[in-house]
Amino acid sequence: MKKILVIGSLNLDMVVNVDHTPATGETILSNNMEMIPGGKGANQACAAGYLGADITMLGSVGNDMYADILLGSLQKAGADTSKILKRSDATTGIALITVNSDGDNCIVVISGANATLSCNDIDNNIDLLKEADIIIFQLEIPIETVCYGAKKAKTLGKTVILDPAPVPKEFPEELYRYVDIIKPNETELRMLTGIDQIESRLPEASRQLRNQGVKNILVTLGEKGVYLDSEEDGICRIPAIPVDAIDTTAAGDSFTAALAVMLSEGKCLREAAIFANYVSAIVVTRKGAQSSIPTLDEVQQYIRQIEAEKAS
């Protein structure tokens, strides 16, 4: 099996349920807080682990109890965490989230150690990049590090996947040249291309990215499924699996990971996207981020069940 490397963020989400969102200067009470492992990089590494991949993560955490929770969650999924850097001078990345009784949230993200992952860290771990076949980046670590890492990965002949979230104010155009597969959602595609009413202009938007050097574009469209524009597999739409979605957290992250896992097993991009579409459909029917990710067995059983329903 080919090796996957995720280079990215780890965050602990501290979720507090409140009656109403506090106003400036107001103190309110809550009687519960959940600590939920997250961060786009860690979610993707976890998902790849549960789906049976040979997966290593490179990222950065603080030397604190939050890091232990995050590393524990990755290890439970079977991901190799031995190269995750522990900083003594930074806190682990944390997202402070209040959710009010209407379900609306307010979020403060403390990037902490994620912001310290540097080009030097890439150089110091170059063997990890050399050993990997597929390398996945997202944008919750410094953009210079992503550019540098993706360039190195490309030079080494690796397959580079970019989940371009969150889109920075200034997206460095050179990054497109190092990316084999980019996987924006609709909002991200709009921000990257400047094209509005994106749903009816997907061919134009994806062509724009193709012209900038990306060979394959996969746009996730939530309940509308996926749009694929690929050098090898052409253009196609994959409809979403009809499900009762209750929580879309980590839908995109699990999609990216599932895609990489299938590519690591030699599937073409179209087949990989079809599989990822099933994985994300399961994820949106469960609450949470890493806790909502299915195992490979669960996905295979789910696919058999849907195929059987279609046939009957």
Candidate ranges 80-88, 146-154, 214-222, 289-297; the one touching ligand ADP (CB under 6 A): 214-222
What residue type is 52 in one-letter code? G
Nearer to ligand ADP, 149 or 252 (CB): 252
Candidate ranges 23-31, 58-66, 75-83, 242-250; the one touching ligand ADP (CB under 6 A): 242-250
On whether the CB atoms of residues 264 and 3 are closer than 8 A, the answer is yes
Query: If binding is defined by CB under 6 A, does position 9 make contact with ligand ADP?
Result: no
- Token digits of residue 306: 């849907």
Which one of residues 181, 209, 214, 241 is an interface residue with ligand ADP (CB under 6 A)?
241
Residue 299 CA, distance from chain mean position: 18
Q: How many residues does the chain have?
A: 312
H helix intervals, the chain:
40-50, 65-76, 119-124, 126-131, 143-155, 186-193, 202-211, 251-264, 269-283, 296-311
Query: If binding is defined by CB under 6 A, does position 252 make contact with ligand ADP?
Result: yes
Which one of residues 245, 274, 303, 306 is an interface residue with ligand ADP (CB under 6 A)?
245
Query: If binding is defined by CB under 6 A, does position 306 make contact with ligand ADP?
Result: no
Q: How far is the CB of 280 from ligand ADP (least distance, A)?
A: 3
CA atoms within 13 A on the CB side of 299: 24
Query: If binding is defined by CB under 6 A, does position 284 make contact with ligand ADP?
Result: yes
Q: How far is the CB of 242 from ligand ADP (least distance, A)?
A: 7
Which one of residues 264, 277, 290, 292 is an interface residue with ligand ADP (CB under 6 A)?
277
Which one of residues 67, 79, 113, 221 is an interface residue with ligand ADP (CB under 6 A)?
221
On whether the CB atoms of residues 105 and 45 are closer than 8 A, the answer is no
Candidate ranges 14-22, 61-69, 131-139, 244-252; the one touching ligand ADP (CB under 6 A): 244-252
Query: If binding is defined by CB under 6 A, does position 185 make contact with ligand ADP?
Result: yes
CA angle 177, 181, 183 (to 5 degrees): 115
Which of these, 278, 7, 20, lies nearest to 148 by C-alpha position?
Answer: 7
Query: If binding is defined by CB under 6 A, does position 248 make contact with ligand ADP?
Result: yes
Residue of closest CB approach to ligand ADP = 252
Which one of residues 111, 216, 220, 264 is an interface residue with ligand ADP (CB under 6 A)?
220
Distance in angstroms (rounded) separating the CA atoms of residues 177 and 219: 18
Query: If binding is defined by CB under 6 A, does position 227 make contact with ligand ADP?
Result: no
Query: If binding is defined by CB under 6 A, does position 191 make contact with ligand ADP?
Result: no
Catalytic residue list contains 80: no
Cα→Cα distances 187→27, 73, 220, 282, 304, Å: 34, 29, 10, 22, 32
Nearer to ligand ADP, 84 or 281 (CB): 281
Cα→Cα distances 83→12, 111, 142, Å: 19, 19, 18
On whether the CB atoms of residues 274 and 306 are closer than 8 A, the answer is no
Which active-site residues does the annotation give? 253
**Which positions lie near ligand ADP, rule CB under 6 A?**
185, 220-223, 225-226, 240-241, 243, 245, 248, 251-252, 255, 277, 280-281, 284
